[in-house]
Amino acid sequence: MLPHLDAAYNLARWLMRDREAAEDVLQEAMVRALTYFASFKGVNPRAWLLQIVRRTAYGSMSLNRGMETVPIEDDDRTPAAGDDPEAALLRSRECRQVREMIAALPVELRETLVLREFEELSYKEIAEATQTPIGTVMSRLWRARQLLARTAEAEGSP
């Protein structure tokens, strides 16, 4: 499970939209994964772990219904090598805007987009992790991209 820990945290972070809540979800998911690892008979441990993270996150969200969520922060504040301060500021603002647009997506679209674009899972792996048909994965991904494009166009973003 350790090789997939970063992917599990990334998914928890995007689903929960809060660092501390994501850490709690990840910890609980890892305990569950380690508890039931002996019974794992699948061929894709990454998708299996992400499915556990997803279920744990949704369970946590249902317990915390009505609580205000805070958008994910911008962790990328280090300027790229060779950037002048103005370029670094613009890049930072663009990254923050994109993160905010992704965080504003409905959770089922957000998770599909994160699993595909950030974790680079195949459609089959996403379908396995989310327990949805591949066609649904493809549809959600298309809808997420369309919503992002419309939002970016409306805001004049990248």
Q: What confidence tens digit (pLDDT) does each residue in 83-110 have?
A: 566 666 667 777 888 888 888 899 899 9
The angle, 0 to 180 degrees and rounded to 10, between the axes of the packed helices 123-130 and 134-155 is 100
CATH classification code of 86-158: 1.10.10.10
- Who has greater pLDDT, 21 or 88? 21
- Measured in degrees and rounded to the nearest 5, phi and psi for residue 105 equal -65, 150
Res 77: pLDDT:
45
Segments of the chain assigned to CATH 1.10.10.10: 86-158
Segments of the chain assigned to CATH 1.10.1740: 1-69
Asked if residue 156 has pLDDT above 80, the reply is no
Average pLDDT for 63-92: 55
Report helix, strand and coil shares of the chain as percent, to nearest 5: 75, 0, 25
- Who has greater pLDDT, 78 or 90? 90
Selected from 1.20.1060, 3.40.50, 1.10.20, 1.10.1740, the CATH number assigned to the domain covering 1-69 reads 1.10.1740
On average, the pLDDT of the chain sits at 82
pLDDT grade, residue 122 (50/70/90)?
Answer: very high
